[in-house]
Amino acid sequence: MALSERYASILKTVSKPGRYIGGEFNAVMKNKDDVRCRFAFCFPDTYEIGMSNLGVRILYDVLNRHPAIWCERVYAPWVDMMEKMKTYGIPLTAMESGDPVGDFDLIGFSLQYELCYSTALAMIKMANVPLLSRDRGEECPIIIGGGPCAYNPEPIADFFDLFNIGEGEEVLLEICELYMKMKREGRYSREGFLREAARSIEGVYVPAFYDVSYHEDGTIAAFTPKYDDIPTKIKKRIISDLDTVPYPEKPVMPYIETVHDRIVLEVYRGCIRGCRFCQAGMVYRPIREKSPEVLCKTAKCLYENTGYDEISLISLSISDYSRLPELCDNLLSWTDDAKVSLSLPSLRIDSFSEELMKKTTGVRTGGITFAPEAGTQRLRDVINKNVTEEDLMRAVGIAFRGGKGNVKLYFMDGLPTETMEDIAGIADLAKKVVGEYYRLPKPQRPYGIGVTISVSCFVPKPFTPFQWEKQDSFETLLEKQAHLRSCIDDKHIRYTYHDAKVSAIEAVFARGDRKLGKALALAAEEGIVFDAWDEFFSYDTYMDIFARTGIDAAFYTTRGFGLDEILPWDMIDCGVTKAYLKNERKKAYEEKTTPSCAEHCNGCGANALGGKNRWCH
């Protein structure tokens, strides 16, 4: 029985077969005879989640604009489909052609979250590609990693042939073009291609070309390139002018419901704020904005090509977009008549206004979300959140007067210098939000009030001022979670929190070094997959794997890192200097804040990367 027939025969026996059938509207099909480079773009999670990822959409579009490159999508089959594929000997296949992924030239993975590593490795195995890069022969595809997790690639360095560091629109094309050039000239070999990519393409990191040595205490002693013509530090890539970069105007339309069925407009990249826990706010610098003209043209085109009835304007902090009122007015000139609503999912408390809420309510109503992050002003100053309790009360008051009855507040526990008083402050702040609702005249509060406080556990991330900090122990986090629960005595407040065990394993892989490869390899051999899903994650399983592979999890979590220690990600240059990060850490312990880039340049170093922006001087 042919592969396609075997595949089709099992679809009726699995859940959501629409995940696997392909053939969606706007999917890119090409004549194989016209293609010189086949690229399998893998997202290590389910179809519904991967189809909603903007980065995958953008890079799929960019690569397919090249006439000689065919980029196809690959998602992780759900566990029932995985089992069927294993039983019937069916390899991982691409959505567009249905061809085995192992037959492609290049395989790229978008690595968005550390707990997706197990799924990525499972997909490599399902493609019948050797798990370890050193075991791959000349006939094997090149495995590429990218996305935010590539800023510390060391825990998965053994499994990837190369990483692209930073934004991928230009660097992935350059990688593909180098591959086609070397093939055309008859001088391609895996080693030769990887050496040339590392030498000539900025933003490419080939782990096999770097040696790592260790001190007796397990910390890194040196990070040494094997060749003189490859960089000692890999500088991240950025797109200088976002107005000129391609943006998908005909996105693939799914047959089944996905996480985000809407038009997504990327308004700008970077962040002018300096929250000391936030990796994205540091590594995506410098700020680069798109013009309202380009955004409005794209939105109209996407509406005509999709028929979606919601437009979501996204960035790390949408209210910091310098031309937001102009953009909203231009969009509303046609979206109101078309019954298309505007959504701004990343509003800051201190810039929320009645005018903004009226413009974004559109044809829908619902709750609203803010992120104070900490329960006391002292701790908000430590993390440089730069918002006050007064800012929050003003913002929720506007929301309540506008008919919003449900408010969600995001916080973290386990932050540096945190005390039980700070934890109790979360409950106090939520009570004050409830009180703000009941201060309104009764006719203005017909819907009732509900406040949800959602608390995640702090994970020290690379390239942040808190990258050296230790993570609270599992026991301490449980104690803080229990204390907060005991402080909540208002029926209008609902409390949800993140599993501290998940955060502990996330921290190991976020802050880990190359020694973790043996643990991940063992996890892959034992069939561990979908760690990002609660029903499959097992803390005890990982602790057992760490014990069997000689890994001390506490070395990467509760130990904390020395300020002069060589960090696993020190070979990466994200643009923000280590001196700036150290100074921000010092200011955190002094409870001093740093103003936003909009007020003045704080000298983080990102302006050296260039880019068309109005913030760096």
Task: Write out the DSSP string of 180-195.
Answer: HHHHHTT---HHHHHH
CA-CA-CA-CA torsion for 242, 245, 249, 254, nearest 10 degrees? Answer: -90
Burial profile 476-503: b = 16 or more Cβ within 10 angstroms, e = fewer? ebeebbeebeebbeeebbebebbebbbb
Helix, strand, or coil here: 223?
Answer: strand
Query: Half-sphere exposure of residue 140, counting CA atoms within 13 Å on the CB side?
Result: 21
| Residue 153, preceding peptide bond in cis (omega within 30° of 0) | no
Helix, strand, or coil here: 93?
Answer: strand
Query: Half-sphere exposure of residue 208, counting CA atoms within 13 Å on the CB side?
Result: 20
State the pLDDT at residue 354. 79
What is the DSSP track for 448-486?
A: --EEEEEEEEP---TTSTTTTPPPPPHHHHHHHHHHHHH
Q: What is the mean pLDDT of each successive set of 10 residues along the chain, which is 617 residues long?
A: 67 93 95 97 97 95 98 98 94 96 98 98 98 98 98 98 97 98 98 98 98 98 97 97 94 91 94 96 96 96 92 91 93 90 83 78 64 97 97 92 89 98 98 95 84 97 98 95 97 96 97 98 98 97 98 97 97 97 98 94 87 56
What is the DSSP track for 250-299?
A: SPPBPSS--S--SEEEE-EES-S---TT-HHHHHTPSPEEPPHHHHHHHH
From the number of C-beta atoms within 10 Å of its C-beta (0-12, 13-18, 19+), residue 559 rates as: middle
What is the DSSP track for 61-78?
A: HHHHTSTTEEEEEEEPPP
Backbone angles phi, psi at 62, to 5 degrees: -60, -50
State the pLDDT at residue 410. 96
Under a CB-based contact definition with an 8 Å cutoff, are residues 91 and 40 in contact?
no
Q: Which two tokens stand for residue 94?
A: 């691409």
What is the DSSP track for 374-425?
A: SSSHHHHHHTT----HHHHHHHHHHHHHTT--EEEEEEEES-TT--HHHHHH
Q: State which amino acid sits at residue 44.
A: P
For the stretch 87-118, pLDDT in tens is 999 999 999 999 999 999 999 999 999 999 99
**What does CATH list as the number for 240-364?**
3.30.750.210
Contact residues for 173 (Cβ-Cβ < 8 A; gap 6+)? 62, 63, 66, 69
Helix, strand, or coil here: 361?
Answer: helix
State the pLDDT at residue 130. 98
What is the DSSP track for 2-68?
A: -HHHHHHHHHTTSS-GGGT----BT-----GGG-SEEEEEEESS-HHHHTT-HHHHHHHHHHHTSTT
- CA 319-263-70 angle, to 5 degrees, is 120
**What does CATH list as the number for 366-498?**
3.30.750.200
For the stretch 294-328, pLDDT in tens is 999 999 999 999 989 999 999 998 889 999 999 99
State the pLDDT at residue 364. 45
**What does CATH list as the number for 3-235?**
3.40.50.280
Burial profile 400-424: b = 16 or more Cβ within 10 angstroms, e = fewer? beeebbbbbbebbbbbbebeeebbb
Q: Which two tokens stand for residue 557?
A: 């979590």
State the pLDDT at residue 611. 58
Under a CB-based contact definition with an 8 Å cutoff, are residues 474 and 519 in contact?
no
- CA torsion sign for 452, 458, 461, 463 is positive
Structural domain boundaries in the chain: 3-235, 240-364, 366-498
Give CA–CA dist 408/451, Å, rounded: 6
- On the question of a common fold for 240-364 and 366-498, the answer reads yes
**Per-residue CA distances from 315 to 62, 71, 272, 341, 370 (Å):** 20, 26, 11, 18, 15
Q: How many CB atoms lie within 10 A of CB 183?
A: 14
Q: State which amino acid sits at residue 353.
A: S
Helix, strand, or coil here: 500?
Answer: helix
Under a CB-based contact definition with an 8 Å cutoff, are residues 500 and 101 in contact?
no
Q: Taking the model in full, what pTM does it have?
A: 0.95
**Per-residue CA distances from 491 to 222, 327, 426, 451 (Å):** 56, 40, 15, 9
Give CA–CA dist 149/165, Å, rounded: 9
